[in-house]
Structure 1
Amino acid sequence: MPQAKFLQLAIPVPLRQLFTYAIPDALLEHSFTVGERVVAPFGHRHVIGIVMAIVDECEFAPNKIKAITNIIEHDQCIPQALIKLLTTCASYYHHPIGDVFHQALPVLLRQVEPPSIAPIIAWQCLPKTEDNAEVLSKLDNKRSKKQWQLYQLLSHHQQLTWPEIRTLGFNKAQLSALENKQLIASVEQLATPFQWHDDALNQENEFTLSTEQAVVVSAISQSIGQYSCHLIDGITGSGKTEVYLQSMTKVLSHHQQVLVLVPEIGLTPQTLSRFEQRFNVPIFLHHSGLNDKERLATWQNANQNNAAIIIGTRSAVFSPLPKLGLIIVDEEHDASFKQQDSFRYHGRDVAIIRAKQLNIPIILGSATPSFESLHNAIKQRYHYHQLTKRAAGSRQAKVSLLDVSNQTLQAGLSLPLKKAISQTLERGEQVLIFLNRRGYSPAINCQECHWVAECTRCQCPYTLHRGQGLLICHHCGSQKRVPAQCDSCGSVRIKPIGQGTEQIEEYLAQTFAQYSTVRIDRDSTRRKGELNKLLQQVLNKEHQILIGTQMLAKGHHFPDVTLVAMLDIDGALFSFDYRAPENMAQLIVQVAGRAGRASKPGKVLVQTQYPQHPLLQDLVNNGYQHFAKQGLNERQMAFLPPFGYQALVRADANYPSYPEKFLRQIATVNFSDCELAGPMPAAIEKRAGKYRFHLLLQAKTRQALHQGVTQVLQSLTNNEWQSKVRWSIDIDPIELSW
């Protein structure tokens, strides 16, 4: 009879440990492997557990150990390399290992009931015949323009799946129309391991590299097969994407896979489009815009080496890629790479860890590198490459400050700015107005008693959304109708305070009625495919005035935008957050990069009440590089990251005293090598009905910080307030206000 064995499982619960389970007699003959998924009882429910170890002995009494109830009979084991990465992440971020594995898996693989594995359906063009030639000739007109574009796209590729077609801006109606006309047909996509072939590269779309680009590509190509981190610091429009594409070619030609991380879904369509034009290889997407079955399909194809390229947002860093040869992190500075709840990892940092473990190169690209990455480049931990010239001969737009301290503003716009807008539109060019605040206005108040409509759950003003007739809290999502009179004194003199994108759109549409105005923010792009549709309309010059939030700040190419105006950026100049100036500078440079990207010269106007502020003067006159070096010097004197290391302990509860008392008890621990700040209320003390407090740990070395965090976790066993609060630990926090 085989010897009894036990399994150590990672279970998705908030406990930092593995759980031991017995193997039932019915499964003793099964050959268990590390990374396998099994069904195990936990409390009154059954959960998916990941096998982390198989042991012959157990320290607990046999009658106290539960047995697993089932195994998952699918070829969906987590690869050993990914297990190593996730274990490292759980240790570094001090997060429960079961939850780390749970979040790295697609939703359908976290369920006890095994998912039904449906075949992947793709579409391809049917051969041209006499019967469909006439139908095809009628497609090339304005009424069937999108159908014609979709047909052309499919004719250049062997097959395209629905997620790819949808991401590229087409809908089901256009796809069905081509099917009904018998021009295309759906087929079951064969899942075969990726192999590079002669026609996998479309050289017609390959650009000639500049000298700077060629040097970077050469350096990356020489490092294929070994770990190296390459920071590409290239001004906006300098051709970083072309460097990525030509660096990928050598990796793909060795039958290896490439992982491309982008910060937001909005950048996925243009990235996919560029890659589809260059490579005729299997490309899969991974982001929150896909449904559960589509994300499972991506996971499976990546795991089985069927995918050549994975393009995704931060969670795509956990894709199981057995032949991964290169990782690319585009816009590496972006805060969207940091997960801000639950498992608080940083996608860029995890990608670097993964590249080290696999001994492969990684590329970090940005026009405004984060201070941490610049510091590592200066210390020669990264290979530092600069692209200082724009591709195709276009010139970088000049940034000018508009002093509005003594001017009367209408809807937040000054008279000189309105004149510049008018002149640009008269030349037949496009204008982009940037305001990082959606809605009509950030607050409403009473003109009689100065009452402000505040969210009772957050103690923050409601944002007015006039188009919907609602007051919406942007912190907790609560809504209410716009009151007809003041809640305090009954006056009907209620007016909006400040500006949002909705108000700017209304004012410009009235002022420049002969031109088309479009607003691109989270409110106007809620429906699937709406963002792609609006961006395409802008490229087609259907709109002359663009108004948008941070969604338009990076990555997008608008060749006819020659004037960019930025409104209300002064808040960052006086923020308590030491990262605020860095974020402000990155935002200004990124938004400015949307101007003059083609042959037409561009101009950038930044409205400010403080044009003489040294931070703005340094950025405008000396550029981001000098600004960043000055910022690094300041941080070095204050021992702030990247010259120090931080961990933030957050706590919240229904009563304001509970989180403060919880953190105050932690602060009594004798931390030998860590400094403490707090407990202190969060910048927004009450959010979604919870009172929130912070305790910040800071150390001069990473080792000392982790020792301090370990002391915090050990002290919790004796903390009488632990059961009364919800708490979390954020290693390397980048957002101190939440």
Structure 2
Amino acid sequence: MIPEPKANSSPLVWVIAVPSPLHRLFEYLPPDGEAFNPACGARVRISFSGRDVIGVFLESRLSRLPNPSTLKRVTSVIDVAASLLLHEQSALLQWLSDYYLIPPGEAYLLGLSNTERKGNLQWEPPLDHVVLREGGDPLATIPKRARRQRDAIALIGNNSVSIADLSEQGISTSVIRSLLSLSLVEKVPSPPISRHAKRASPDLTEEQKRVSIELISKLNHFRAHLLEGITGSGKTEVYLECIKAVIANNQQVLVIVPEIGLTPQTKARFEDALGCEVPLIHSGITESDRGRSWALARSGLAPVILGTRSAVFCSFRSLGLIVVDEEHDPSLKQQDHPRYSARDVAIKRAQLCNCPIILGSATPSLESIANCDAGKYQHHILSERPQGTSLPSISLVDTRGLALASGLSDQAITEITRALSRDEQALLFINRRGFAHSLQCEDCGWVAGCHQCDSSLSVHRNPPHLSCHHCQTKRSTPRQCEECQSIRLSGRGVGTEQLELLMHRLFSDMPVFRIDSDSIKNVDALTSTLDSISAAGSAVLLGTQMLSKGHNFPKVTCVVVVDADNLLFSPDFRAEERLLQLLVQVAGRAGRATLPGKVLIQTRCPDHPLIQEVANNAYSEQARRLLARREELSLPPKGAMGVIRCDASAETNAIDFLDSLKKQLPSTSHARLLGPMPTLMTRRAGMYRYQIIIHGPTRREVHVVMKKAIEMGSQQKLARKVSWFVEIDPTETL
């Protein structure tokens, strides 16, 4: 007689995504006495590597281990009633892990606010308002001698009043406590979203109306839309028309901008147009405020959320539209772990939510243009500025052989003077902070270098010191050369500090506003500076890229690009695209209102084809020429790329690790492996960086190699002596 096979004796286990660098999920036994499974995405508390951590429950299943009885048990379930991760969020985070090769435990936690990742409950509105209890006349129970209590009752009336406002009116907390003890008032939460009267919106141009109608007609399903509008064409007004239509349909909107510096101006414009608070999500606000924004979005109480990269993972009850402004900006790509493109993640999220996404830019990325040409995106164009104003005129200033004053030619100084004399504003763009690029000895040529990086130290004057802008090392300014002891030391190059000093000397009676990361330390400082610029009459604005992105300065009529050659000869294949976008964006700050604008581009290479194209041709024509060149070379967006990067304190360890790994990777006729090779700056912060570039016709071929690299890399003997990672679709390849 043939015996019956034994039933599967493996116990049911819980599959948990644990935040760790390991690219796998983990099995745990359910907690003792637990009779139910939590919802997918629920947070659980577990023990991992000897410490308590917060993981995410994904499913229960039969164990796949040979001896599951030795598994640890889940300590407790945090989200018993419901998961904080919604279904489409979980699907997005799983895709994020698969596509960007991020460990699943680290990917899933991105869908929670910072406080929720620590195991805290989601934000609840504080009980910081009071209202009168229903029933009876409260004044009848308060003695006439209790004057402050009677005043408080009168101030509260039939409204919900904040305790802070009552305090400002002279009502002390002891008075409030007395009214609470008498059961005359009760504490209630503050209104979740503050509301106010809307400001009148400007009249739309015919072009803006046409594009708005086209977009609004397609709000009921997923579609990627590229809104290409020249600088100052009013893309924000089109966004707002679409947002109003989505809110009217009781749905929510996510708006993503590339940098924190763009949030104050965008938030103010949106709140004025919509008549309600627009909560923020970015690293410049407190964890509590971010938790509040996350909870308001999850509950559906916030119609619009505005944020930077991390906002793309925020929970929404009913997401109806995503807007990514300045979609070309490299800042939308997270450059440290976990590495992802917020723009591309937003497109995937829109697909999962079956809602449209609008990608807006005056200088669209070549990837977005290629997707429009392929029919994947719908292309909308705004080719005119409101009020009939034209784009600024662009002139090239050949600085070869000229005697420059802190980097400025006589022609540039003349144009700045003319703009200020007309009670207008001038903007000076120089993408280098500090006083000078480097400190050099006039006798032997020695240059003060960083001991941790392959880079010179920048000169700063306020306060005097030398600083490495890569590893943030600082040291005092030397009095003599370290090689020949000469005291003839001088700065080379021009930075924002030196330019600011010149402007104060030339225009002593004019306000000068410097905007760079040295002078602007936080969002409040930036908001204050932008308000001062708006209130000022004639003024000089100068700064780095912080000044060039998306800001609206109606009084600026003169723009000077102090040195356009910084990126001109970079070996990175994206350098030309970035320089083109940067120059067009900076030039677009001029003449945005009714006043005509003028742009001067100072260069030592006026005959370079790219410089000539900026001065003479529209961005779309130049971008398509660059796109054709990329296609000839099978470079993205035509092909696909990935990198394996390795950092090590010993240079030979980085080389040997990548050499050994490359030998174990599959060689195919499609994917090419280039390297190991040093990055453009080989040593940074005391670590040597080498890389292997993977180039293939499609992402699928590149993915195969990178997945194998993750599997084989962790088995290398040198893996413990180096720090290494993989990155798909890198924005920097050198």
TM-score normalised by L of structure 1: 0.88
Which residue of 549, 567, 574 maps to 2:569?
574
Residue correspondence of structure 1 range 685-704 to structure 2 within 5 A = 685-704=682-701
**Take 2:684 and 2:188, find their aligned partners in 1: how far apart are those partners?**
49
Amino acid at match of 1:289: G
Change (3 A) 1:569 1:63: same
In the other structure, the counterpart of 1:78 is: 85
Check whether the contact 2:425–2:537 (CA below 8 A) recurs between aligned residues: no
Instruction: Quote how far apart the aligned CAs of 1:713 are.
Output: 2.3
In the other structure, the counterpart of 1:108 is: 115
In the other structure, the counterpart of 1:305 is: 300
In the other structure, the counterpart of 1:139 is: none
SS of aligned partner of 1:572:
coil
Change (3 A) 1:117 1:242: closer
Instruction: Quote how far apart the aligned CAs of 1:121 are.
Output: 7.7
Instruction: Quote how far apart the aligned CAs of 1:619 are.
Output: 2.2
In the other structure, the counterpart of 1:662 is: 657
Instruction: Quote how far apart the aligned CAs of 1:4 are.
Output: 5.5
Kindly indicate whether residue 31 of structure 2 is the aligned counterpart of residue 33 of structure 1: no
In the other structure, the counterpart of 2:596 is: 601
SS of aligned partner of 1:252:
helix
Residue correspondence of structure 1 range 671-682 to structure 2 within 5 A = 671-672=667-668, 673-682=670-679
Kindly indicate whether residue 402 of structure 2 is the aligned counterpart of residue 407 of structure 1: yes
Amino acid at match of 1:224: L
**Take 1:107 and 1:697, find their aligned partners in 2: how far apart are those partners?**
34
Which residue of 18, 28, 36 maps to 2:25?
18
Instruction: Quote how far apart the aligned CAs of 1:266 are.
Output: 1.1
Amino acid at match of 1:180: E
In the other structure, the counterpart of 2:14 is: 7
In the other structure, the counterpart of 2:258 is: 263
Residue correspondence of structure 1 range 127-166 to structure 2 within 5 A = none
Amino acid at match of 2:330: A
Instruction: Quote how far apart the aligned CAs of 1:117 are.
Output: 4.6
Amino acid at match of 1:699: G
**Take 2:196 and 2:216, find their aligned partners in 1: how far apart are those partners?**
17
Amino acid at match of 2:106: D
Change (3 A) 1:478 1:115: farther
In the other structure, the counterpart of 2:712 is: 715
SS of aligned partner of 2:580:
helix
Which residue of 413, 419, 423 maps to 2:418?
423
Instruction: Quote how far apart the aligned CAs of 1:690 are.
Output: 0.3
In the other structure, the counterpart of 2:125 is: 119
**Alpha-carbon displacement from aligned partner over 1:487-538 (angstroms, at most 9, x marks no partner):** 2222221111111000000011112222221211111111451111111111
**Take 2:571 and 2:405, find their aligned partners in 1: how far apart are those partners?**
29
Amino acid at match of 1:724: K
**Take 1:329 and 1:159, find their aligned partners in 2: how far apart are those partners?**
37
Amino acid at match of 1:675: R
**Take 1:160 and 1:233, find their aligned partners in 2: how far apart are those partners?**
46
Say how many residue pairs are matched.
Answer: 682
Structure 1 spans left out of the alignment, 5+ residues: 125-157, 162-174
Which range is displaced more, 50-59 or 92-101? Answer: 50-59
Amino acid at match of 2:357: I
SS of aligned partner of 1:41:
strand
**Take 1:191 and 1:70, find their aligned partners in 2: how far apart are those partners?**
33
**Alpha-carbon displacement from aligned partner over 1:254-281 (angstroms, at most 9, x marks no partner):** 1101000011111111111111112134
Check whether the contact 2:224–2:378 (CA below 8 A) recurs between aligned residues: yes
Change (3 A) 1:159 1:456: farther
**Take 1:76 and 1:516, find their aligned partners in 2: how far apart are those partners?**
53
Kindly indicate whether residue 94 of structure 2 is the aligned counterpart of residue 87 of structure 1: yes
In the other structure, the counterpart of 2:354 is: 359
**Alpha-carbon displacement from aligned partner over 1:200-221 (angstroms, at most 9, x marks no partner):** 8967522322222122111211
In the other structure, the counterpart of 1:382 is: 377
Amino acid at match of 2:434: G
Which residue of 197, 204, 207 maps to 1:209?
204
Kindly indicate whether residue 437 of structure 2 is the aligned counterpart of residue 442 of structure 1: yes
Which residue of 168, 179, 184 maps to 1:180?
168
Which residue of 220, 228, 239 maps to 2:234?
239
**Alpha-carbon displacement from aligned partner over 1:208-248 (angstroms, at most 9, x marks no partner):** 22222122111211111211111000001101000000011
**Take 1:78 and 1:634, find their aligned partners in 2: how far apart are those partners?**
43
SS of aligned partner of 1:225:
coil
Instruction: Quote how far apart the aligned CAs of 1:307 are.
Output: 1.5
Change (3 A) 1:667 1:23: same
Change (3 A) 1:495 1:159: farther
Check whether the contact 1:230–1:362 (CA below 8 A) recurs between aligned residues: yes
Kindly indicate whether residue 716 of structure 2 is the aligned counterpart of residue 728 of structure 1: no
Instruction: Quote how far apart the aligned CAs of 1:336 are.
Output: 0.7
Kindly indicate whether residue 70 of structure 2 is the aligned counterpart of residue 64 of structure 1: yes
Amino acid at match of 2:72: K
Amino acid at match of 1:344: R
Check whether the contact 1:518–1:547 (CA below 8 A) recurs between aligned residues: yes
Change (3 A) 1:407 1:380: same
**Take 2:609 and 2:127, find their aligned partners in 1: how far apart are those partners?**
57
In the other structure, the counterpart of 2:136 is: none
SS of aligned partner of 1:640:
coil
**Take 2:580 and 2:128, find their aligned partners in 1: how far apart are those partners?**
44
Q: What percent identity do the matched residue pairs reach?
A: 38
In the other structure, the counterpart of 2:640 is: 645
SS of aligned partner of 2:566:
helix
Instruction: Quote how far apart the aligned CAs of 1:723 are.
Output: 2.1
Structure 2 spans left out of the alignment, 5+ residues: 1-9, 131-158, 177-186
SS of aligned partner of 1:431:
strand
**Take 1:30 and 1:551, find their aligned partners in 2: how far apart are those partners?**
52
Which residue of 572, 577, 584 maps to 2:579?
584
SS of aligned partner of 1:574:
coil
SS of aligned partner of 2:617:
helix
Check whether the contact 2:423–2:537 (CA below 8 A) recurs between aligned residues: no
SS of aligned partner of 1:409:
coil
Which range is displaced more, 387-396 or 225-234? Answer: 387-396
Which range is displaced more, 614-623 or 87-96? Answer: 614-623
**Take 2:512 and 2:572, find their aligned partners in 1: how far apart are those partners?**
35
Instruction: Quote how far apart the aligned CAs of 1:56 are.
Output: 4.0
Change (3 A) 1:730 1:159: farther
Change (3 A) 1:160 1:109: farther
SS of aligned partner of 1:529:
helix
In the other structure, the counterpart of 1:229 is: 224
Check whether the contact 1:286–1:312 (CA below 8 A) recurs between aligned residues: yes
Check whether the contact 2:123–2:295 (CA below 8 A) recurs between aligned residues: no
Kindly indicate whether residue 457 of structure 2 is the aligned counterpart of residue 469 of structure 1: no
Instruction: Quote how far apart the aligned CAs of 1:58 are.
Output: 4.2
TM-score normalised by L of structure 2: 0.89
Instruction: Quote how far apart the aligned CAs of 1:160 are.
Output: 13
Residue correspondence of structure 1 range 290-301 to structure 2 within 5 A = 290-301=285-296
**Take 2:262 and 2:350, find their aligned partners in 1: how far apart are those partners?**
23
Change (3 A) 1:694 1:567: same
Which range is displaced more, 201-210 or 265-274? Answer: 201-210
Which range is displaced more, 394-403 or 309-318? Answer: 394-403
Change (3 A) 1:216 1:90: same
Q: What's the Cα RMSD here?
A: 2.6
SS of aligned partner of 2:402:
coil
Amino acid at match of 2:52: H
Which residue of 312, 334, 348 maps to 1:317?
312
In the other structure, the counterpart of 1:130 is: none
In the other structure, the counterpart of 2:393 is: 398
**Alpha-carbon displacement from aligned partner over 1:563-591 (angstroms, at most 9, x marks no partner):** 00001121222110111111111111111
